[in-house]
Amino acid sequence: MLTTTEIIQQVESELQKFQNQWWKEYDSPQPSHIYHYTSLEGLVGILTSGKFFLSDVLASSDRSEIRHGFELADEVLRTRVAHPLCASTREILVLNPFLGIGETMFVYAVCFCPDSDVLTQWRAYSADGGFALGVDFVKVVTCAVAAEFAISKMLYDHRRQAALLEFTLDHATSLFDRLDTQIALLPASEAQDCRNRFAFEVGLSLVKSILRFKNEAFQSESEWRILALLTKDSLTADRLKFRARGRTVIPYIEMPFSPDLVTHIYRSPGPWPQSTEYGVRRLSASISPHVLCETSKLPL
């Protein structure tokens, strides 16, 4: 007879294997380079510290991104409540909005684009001008994996988002039906706890997909993100940091990188003083003599 721990470990493994396989196909082919768009202050901060800063998504992004994914999950689960696992999973998501994200779990992200000269990205920094920091994709993957973070291409197609949630639930319910005979052998209270934990793991698997969903209106960005899903207990005082942005306080965590990861620095279009060009070239040379510094060819 399997124990509750053994059953949940099997559930975690099976669901993660499914996630890995689905997203591996979606993430291919991978770009040779990706670009992080930032302000002049952000560029200097990243390069002088040798770290990328992953911001808490609830503090730095429009919450409609996450809300969209959870609402879609609720729609899919509502059509499946006849199955006890789906009913329990939906109850967990409804009673514990965002599955505790922002209270017991926290999501941190830093965004990249596969293109170095994107008009919509430059417009976000057009007031003071901005920069696109180019990095080697393989090397940034290595850094993310070393930090136990995920690097993910965002999914914009609404139909594919819904299909992925359906596929995940198909896999989960099949797994539940297979394991429930083992769960039923446990003492009654332990069996109920095991089913609840099973439903939570399914909810967590759905959330891992939801964090990669974006509105179709932004599809032209083809965004990649480094994502970290962390528990409250893992955010020790030395790990969790804060910075001010306008009238907002942004919680963030850091991801160190090696200097050879940086390959390009692109400047946004528009007039730039010679002193800025000089200073940026000095900054890039201090990182590596091989970093290319160029200016956008696009008009604002």
Q: How far apart are the first and last CA of the chain?
A: 66
Give the integer Cα–Cα distance in Å for 89 and 173: 11
Residue-level pLDDT at 247: 86
The pLDDT of residue 61: 59
pLDDT at residue 18, rounded to an integer:
94
CA 242 to CA 246: how far, in whole Å? 13
User: What is the pLDDT at residue 272?
Assistant: 87
> How much is the pLDDT for 217?
86
Q: Report pTM.
A: 0.92
What pairs with residue 56 in β-bridges?
108
pLDDT of 229 reads 95
pLDDT given for residue 245 in this prediction = 84
Question: Which residues in the chain show pLDDT less than 70?
Answer: 61-62, 126-127, 300
Residues 6+ apart with CB under 8 A from 16: 205
Q: How far is CA 290 from the centre of its chain?
A: 30
Q: Six-digit token pair at 109?
A: 């992200």
pLDDT value at position 246? 82
Parallel, antiparallel, or unpaired for β 224-231 and 150-153?
antiparallel
Q: Which helix (H) or strand (E) holds 292?
A: strand 292-295
Residue-wise pLDDT for 227-281, tens only, equals: 999 999 999 999 999 999 888 999 999 999 998 999 999 999 888 889 999 999 9
What's the confidence (pLDDT) of residue 62? 66
Q: What is the DSSP letter of 30?
A: P
